[in-house]
Chain A
Amino acid sequence: EEQLVESGGGLVQPGRSLRLSCVASGFTFGEYAMHWVRQAPGKGLEWVSGISWNSGSIGYVDSVKGRFIISRDNARNSLYLQMNSLRLEDTALYYCVKEYYGMDVWGQGTTVIVSS
């Protein structure tokens, strides 16, 4: 069974940093692009960042450019999101998602709360 498990969320003050991790299992991680998608409380889905299978292509939503960094370690079947200079509006449930003709496998998510 293909599975994604996120970790690293928590309560953090504005301006501080947090690093999210996602461990994949049940598929050949290194063959697929991966993404982070977030959902603020009561809101819709928002793509945050994506990375191609070989890290050759990376993208971010405008609101996190210059603050967030996506990376992956194919040897460890892991995806990361380094979140710096966190803002109140970054509060959300962050999903790790595998891309295969859209987004076919979703993790359960890890919650990030930015609050003073």
Chain B
Amino acid sequence: EIVMTQSPATLSVSPGERVTLSCRASESVSRNLAWHQQKPGQTPRLLIFAASTRATGVPARFSGSGSGTDYTLTISNLQPEDSAVYYCQQYNNWPPVTFGQGTRLEIK
């Protein structure tokens, strides 16, 4: 099973700043990596797939990068509505599909 490890666990950042969230896989997932955003009380929403492709309707200030085992989600010009938990997910070769434990982002 591929283990996904996200860092940091929590983050508190001011509006307008830029933040980078990290996700490391225990083995290569060949850019078969997605990022999901889950706001409090809401269903998860796909932000990024194939490591760097934004899903439909996702603002350009969300960007993904990485390869092999290391991936990042960068959010520029942070907005109050970006407060959420962000999960990375690998789908390289299921079963199983695996998620990271999540990074909780708080906008001050």
Interface residues of A (CB under 8 A from B): 35, 37, 44-47, 50, 58-61, 95, 99-109
Contact = CB atoms under 8 A, between A and B. Distances in A.
> How many B residues are at the interface, by size bracket?
20 to 34
B43 A35 contact: no
A35 B46 CA distance: 15
B36 interface: yes
B43 A108 contact: yes
Interface string B71-107: 0000000000000010101010011111111100000
B50 interface: yes
Contact of B43 (A50, A60, A101, A109): A109
Given A59-B96, A61-B96, A102 B89 contact: yes
Interface of B: 32-34, 36, 38, 43-46, 49-50, 53, 55, 85, 87, 89, 91, 94-102
Give the interface SS of chain A, mostly helix, strand, loop or mixed: strand
Nearest first, the 4 closest Cβ-Cβ pairs linking A and B are A59-B95, A102-B34, A101-B49, A47-B97
Nearest to B46: A104
Given A101-B50, A102-B36, A109-B43, 13 more contacts: A44-B100, A45-B44, A45-B89, A45-B102, A47-B96, A47-B99, A50-B95, A59-B94, A95-B43, A101-B53, A102-B50, A102-B91, A103-B91
